[in-house]
Amino acid sequence: MEGKGWISYVLDRDGKHRLEGRKEGWMDTVCLE
């Protein structure tokens, strides 16, 4: 594998699922309804 990265799956206070991922210094957040 190349580069460093991590991904986490969390549940917001509002009850919405949020998928957060970070790779090479960039962060992308995807909110799943």
Q: Which residue has the higher pLDDT, 8 or 26?
A: 8
Rg (CA), the chain: 11
SS (H, E, C) the chain: CCCCEEEEEEECCCCCEEEEEEECCEEEEEEEC
Sign of the dihedral defined by the CA atoms of residues 19, 20, 21, 27, in that order: positive
Beta bridge partners of 11: 17
- Reported pTM: 0.17
Cα separation, 5 vs 1, in Å, equals 10
> In the predicted model, what is the mean pLDDT of residues 22-30?
50
pLDDT of residue 31: 47
